[in-house]
Structure 1
Amino acid sequence: MSPLVDCDETTPLLRDDASSDDYEDEDYRSRWRSIRVMYFTMFLSSVGFTIVITSLWPYLQRIDESADASFLGWVVAAYSLGQMVASPIFGLWSNYRPRREPLVCSIFINLSANIYYAYAYLPRTDNKFHMLMARAFVGFGAGNVAVVRSYVAGATSLKERTSAMANMSACQALGFILGPGNSVLEEPEEIIDQVAVLTSNVLFFIVMFIFAVFETISTPLSMDMFAWTRKQAVLYNGVIICCIGFESILVFLVVKVASQRVGDRPVLLAGLAIIFCGFFILLPWGNHYPKIQWADLKNNSLLSKMSETAIAANSSLEPTGCPYEQTWCQYTPAIHLAQYISSDFIIGVGYPACNVMSYTLYSKILGSKPQGIYMGWLTASGSGARTLGPVFVSQVYTILGPRWAFSLICGMVVGAIGLLSCVYHRLIAFSVRHGSIIE
């Protein structure tokens, strides 16, 4: 029996139909121009974010010596907190007004906040708090991602969404001139499965929480485990993140094919399993212990001859290794460089698969109706995760060490796999649920 057809779900808003009239052809080209510009803007935004996140810890230490690893967690979290607050606002705004308005506003906020961040070293006191506020405003400006994703989801058919979302995520990994404004849209008439919506938000929260932990801890972890200097940590982690970015592009291409063959849900499940393997590999083991910072200072014959100011000014005498204040450094085995690189590679496979599948499944569950406010809530859940993740890992890592921090992350991933398995049958497209398309 042939499936029933729902025009809203099967007919692309971006149609490539030879019978289309000139107006429809122009509308098709105009929308795709807008989407490609959004891709490029996401790429530029990602480039800026990557540059900042790898240098955040050394910059914080340089402008305010009183800042510690725990405060770093709050600085990283401030970005996501701002984005969490802004995303629903911009998403709702885009549902009832032309998208140009929230996009222009968010870009202006983002630009101003980045200038504030660049000059956070100028005040004579409380520099770390200026940096904290700057990152919060940058995050608020980044709330426009909800508008971008709702536009892409609304401008593509059900069958095109995986590809469109993967392309946009690939542009993010590789690194909005405004598209046509939309008129006021009607709210969805049908009832959306709220359990599926809530579950999707929870799963996305977990995925983003895990990635926030990963990107936050990379620089302090490498400095503690491998005795890298600040300059070395920024350089080497920058290279690693660059490689992960290229790896993610390949993953997005594979995901597009895999989701067409086996479906979105199996790919999401496989991505979570891969992430679990990545963090499990990162658990400390063996009899090799990290180098302790106080050993450098104790054995430094120049210490008694030079003031602390002179030592700080001379980068060649920068203390390296695991700080003695972190008591776990004395009894927790060091993480080997091979472990660290292998884990980065594996997480670099699992995270992009989970990320794009989370967005794709969510947009299909919602259907082709206006998604601005829903995408705003999804982005807010991800931003909430990126707010709590850095705070969580900076506190647990500083007090208890990597063994506890990464064990808890592994437990969280297992919980996500269990949740996905329990509601697996409900995470289906809106049109499939209502019988207009057979899955």
Structure 2
Amino acid sequence: MKKSQVWEVDHTLDDHKTSASDGGPKSDVDKAAVADVSDLLETPEEKKARKRSHWVAYITMFVMSIGYSIVLTGVWPYLKIINGSLDKEALGWVVAANPFGQMIASPLLGWWGNKAGSIRGACITTIICFIFGNALYSCLYGIKNPETAYYVMIFARFVVGVSSGNVTLCRSYLAASTTQKERTAGISIVAAAQALGFVVGPVIQAVLTVTVTETSGNGAFTWDKYTSAGWVAAILGLINVVIMLPCVFQEHYIAEKERTMQLEELHRSEEPLPKMDYVALSVLLYAFFLPVLVLVFLETIGVPFVCDQYAWDSDTAIFKTGLFLSFGGLCMMSLFYSAGLIVKRIDERIVMICFGAIPITIGCFLFLPFRGTQIEMSNCTENQRLDKAMPYYGFTIADVQTSQNIQWETFNGSTWLPDAYTDGSDATVELGCTLGCPQDQDWCRYVPQLSLPQLVIACMFIMAGFPMLQSVTLGLYSKVVEARKQGLWLSLLGVVGSMSRVVGPIIVTYVYTELGTYWTFGTLTFLMATLLIVLSLSFNRLRR
């Protein structure tokens, strides 16, 4: 070193804090520089791979929700074909079978994912069940005994429900593969993917109702407007299996790394997690349960409801209901995405109450009919001209016209003849029923009709509030659980959501059929009002 050279100490960074233990960044520039924790935990390539893996979870949620929604608008007429003696309470059991399977499978799959340290094995297994259940649903024409066919339909929907338990795995993976900053947005997107499945499902059934005008195949391998929905879902399941293979899907977990880094920075690596707030957890579970219970009505008896209220035939009801649910689902999907942006500007709890619970409560109230026209009753004593009839067990309209010995019991005891099968001829029959509310629903005689504009407005309120309440609830729930085993705790969320889909169809179909719209939506309005009270009382506990 030359004698003339002098070393000086640079003090320009003396006040700069580099970690949480020494105070953290002081300037806004410093804060922005370390705002994305993932930059400290992974390389840009690893981050891109982690983001790609999220898309597999989104697609899986999308496919699973299609498996649930694709048959909802068509299951009632399909059920009447295989067993025409059944009523709407039977429909409730068919719809409830799916979430019942999900309720049983969710905690088991959550445990499996935690134990294995990977969701791939459990997901592939459940998707195979998904394919089998939908294929079985489409093979019911091969079962000649109507009662057996009905119970096989319940079993098929149960199997599809078991497969849907992997939504717990997808949610837990999103929670474990996102940072705290990313989590609410990630959970919102996965919820939006699920909502998109609910959009596409009814659209597929509506399109099939219009386009599949002829029946092909025979027995178990029949392709018509109802069985085709199950086959389409099975094909989507095959695609889902492929993208779950190791060559496509690699898992990346960052939440645990983030927690470890935070503890190391605070020099508290042995510090236990904060105590679980079970009151806040219970409130969030209740907030997750009720909106699903409300939405169950639209999913379960939407088609029978409009048939009763407006005397629509099944094809018209399926097509119009499917299109409306699809439009509403598109709005829900955009709101799911928007929720992640809104909570960055507005307190999550305010979004939860004002943008979620209140609109749903208003929507339930608007389902109460005010003064209006009388509901048209179905008449089963007058002759009805049927343009098409069903050649079930090989019988056609010509058989009915030429043989006086064929009784309606030949058609599974049904006096309701859909046009799913046809030889293209016309016939006038003795025991047909006109369209309208069934005679055994006495409340239709004195309860006014729900006007169509009021129905649309009520549905839009519910569909606007549902994504806001659901996405914020999921985000807050994940934050309450924090770095604990996400699979186990999120499986509890799946159980509660499935329970509402199990209880909802059975109770709602029974209350609606026996007591009518006032009791059905009066009860739902009361329950939503209790949720508003609970959220208000627990407002301070929900802050994380």
TM-score by length of 2: 0.72
The DSSP-based 3-state class of the residue aligned with 1:53 is coil
Contact residue 225 and residue 290 of structure 1 kept, 8 A: yes
Give deviations 1:200-227, integer Å, cap 9, x for gaps: 1122111221211232121111010011
1:110 aligns with: 130
**Deviating more after overlay: 248-257 vs 344-353:** 248-257
In the TM superposition, residue 67 of structure 1 has moved relative to its aligned partner by 1.7
* Matching of residue 291 in structure 1 with residue 376 in structure 2: yes
Q: Deviations over 1:216-270 (max 9, x none)?
A: 1211110100111111111111001110111112212332222111121111112
Q: Tell me the amino acid that sits aligned with residue 48 of structure 1.
A: G
Structural mapping, 1:23-422, within 5 Å: 24-97=43-116, 98-125=118-145, 126-175=148-197, 177-178=243-244, 179-181=249-251, 189-270=273-354, 271-294=356-379, 297-300=380-383, 308=408, 312-313=416-417, 315=419, 319-422=434-537
Deviation of the 1:350 alpha carbon: 0.8
Per-residue deviation, 1:61: 1.1
Closer, same or farther: CA 77–11 of 1 in aligned 2, 3 Å: farther
Q: Per the alignment, do residues 416 and 329 of structure 1 end up closer, same or farther by CA in structure 2, a change over 3 Å counting?
A: same
Over residues 60-96 of structure 1, what are the superposed CA-to-partner deviations in whole Å (9 max), with x where a residue is unaligned? 1111112210011111111111000100111111112
Bigger Rg, structure 1 or 2: 2
Amino acid at match of 1:105: T
On the 8 A contact 2:381/2:433 being kept in 1, the answer is no
Pair 255,223 (structure 1): closer, same or farther in 2 beyond 3 Å: same
CA distance in 1, matches of 2:418, 2:277: 61
The alpha-carbon distance between structure 1 residues 113 and 349, as it changes in their structure 2 partners (threshold 3 A), is same
After superposition, what is the alpha-carbon deviation per residue over 1:17-55, rounded to whole angstroms, capped at 9, x for unaligned?
3x77xx633332222111012112222333333221111
Partners of 2:47 and 2:529 in 1: CA distance: 43
Q: CA deviation at 1:287?
A: 4.0
Amino acid at match of 1:413: M
Distance 2:435 2:385 in 1: 16
Structure 1 vs Structure 2: percent identity of aligned residues?
31
Q: What is the one-letter code of the residue matched to 1:414?
A: A
Q: TM-score, normalised by structure 1?
A: 0.88
Give 1:283's aligned amino acid. Answer: L
Amino acid at match of 2:183: R
Q: 3-state DSSP class of the match of 1:333?
A: coil
CA deviation after TM superposition for structure 1 residue 173, in Å: 2.2
> After superposition, what is the alpha-carbon deviation per residue over 1:279-309, rounded to whole angstroms, capped at 9, x for unaligned?
1111112141111002xx3343769x99756
1:325 alignment partner, SS class: coil
Q: Which has the higher contact order (CA 8 A, sep 6+)?
A: 1
Shift of 1:122: 1.8
The amino acid across from 1:384 in the alignment is: M
The CA distance in 1 between the partners of 2:141 and 2:36, in whole Å, is: 48
- Structure 2 contact 102–163 (Cα < 8 Å) conserved: yes
Kindly state the Cα deviation for residue 190 of structure 1 after the two structures are TM-superposed: 3.9
Does 204-213 or 71-80 show the bigger shift? 204-213
Partner of 2:84, secondary structure, is: coil
Q: Return closer, same or farther for 1:387/1:96 CA change in 2, 3 Å cut-off.
A: same
What is the identity, as a one-letter code, of the residue corresponding to 2:250? P
Rounded Cα–Cα distance in structure 2 between residues aligned with 1:58 and 1:314: 7
Aligned residues: 419
Summarize the Cα distance change of 1:63–1:30 in structure 2 as closer, same or farther, 3 Å threshold.
same
Unaligned runs of at least 5 residues, structure 1 = 430-439
- Code of the aligned partner of 2:369: P
AA aligned opposite 1:102: A
Deviations 1:141-198 (A, max 9, x none): 1000011001111111222122111211222222363343579x89984431122112
- Aligned equivalents of 2:443, 2:511: Cα separation in 1: 11
For 1:258 and 1:200, how far apart are their aligned partners in 2? 19
The answer as to whether partners of 2:122 and 2:166 remain within 8 angstroms in 1 is yes
Q: 1:369 to 1:287 in 2, by over 3 A?
A: closer
* Greater displacement, 384-393 / 46-55: 46-55
C-alpha displacement of 1:378: 0.4
Between Structure 1 and Structure 2, which shows a larger proportion of helix residues?
1
